Amino acid sequence: MAKFVVLLGPPGVGKGTQAKIISDQTGLKHVSSGDLFRENLKNKTALGELAQSYMTKGDLVPDDVTIAMIKERITRLDCEAGAILDGFPRTPAQADALANMLNELGGAQVNCAPWITAPEAILIERLSGRWTCRANGHVFHETNNPPKSKSVCDFDGSELYQRDDDKSDTVVRRIQVYLGQTAVLADYYRARKTLVEIDGTQSIENVSAALLATLKQ
């Protein structure tokens, strides 16, 4: 049976960083809703244009288009064994839609929902120092996790840039949006007995170890 992991947690807590590590270790595909939107933006698709105004403000893209985008992605062959979902779902309506789409995929379900948390000051510090790679969304931090050479991705050699929405006003808005619309998903998955709380203030290595231990259970 396919295995689906939902990484929950506020912006900047380390979901993307961890998703890449555990994807390498488990072979499960990393599916990031933010990366998919940014890819659409880069390719100037209609979806990208629609998403841009929301992303620039730090607001959520409407559920219907977000759900359709994820459904299209996880029904591809490379997610046959499952996936690590990073940044989706972000609302209860998205979580319900995910449950339905997995059920249609031969009765799969969300097996595990790690909820990574850290205080707001840490999130702001991580987002303001984040550098992202243009080609594949690898992330670095200027002090916590610097690339070997400045502005170049260690993994694929592409250029590193600072996301527009990692600027301070938008960061504060994104954290508010998380608290107002997404944090409730901890209760959603707790009620379904899939929530596992992970302390996101630990080092990248220790968070990965905690996640991998959880996934093995």
Residues lying near ligand ADP in the complex (CB under 6 A)? 9, 11-17, 33-34, 37, 54-55, 58-61, 66, 87-88, 90, 94, 126, 129-130, 139-141, 144-145, 165, 174, 202-204, 207
The single-letter DSSP state of residue 8 is: B
Residue with tokens 């993994």: 155
User: Closest CB to ligand ADP among 88 and 215?
Assistant: 88
Q: Which residue is nearest to ligand ADP (CB)?
A: 34
Amino acid at 106: G
- Taking alpha carbons only, the member of 118, 125, 121 closest to residue 141 is 125
CA–CA distance, 23 with 125 (Å, rounded to integer): 25
Least distance between ligand ADP and beta carbon 119 (Å) = 13
Catalytic (active site) residue 130 = yes
HSE-CB of 102 using CA atoms within 13 angstroms: 22
User: Closest CB to ligand ADP among 130 and 215?
Assistant: 130
Task: Check if the beta carbon of residue 60 is closer than 8 Å to that of residue 90.
Answer: yes
Least distance between ligand ADP and beta carbon 180 (Å) = 13
Catalytic (active site) residue 190 = no
Point out the residues that are catalytic. 15, 90, 130, 163, 174
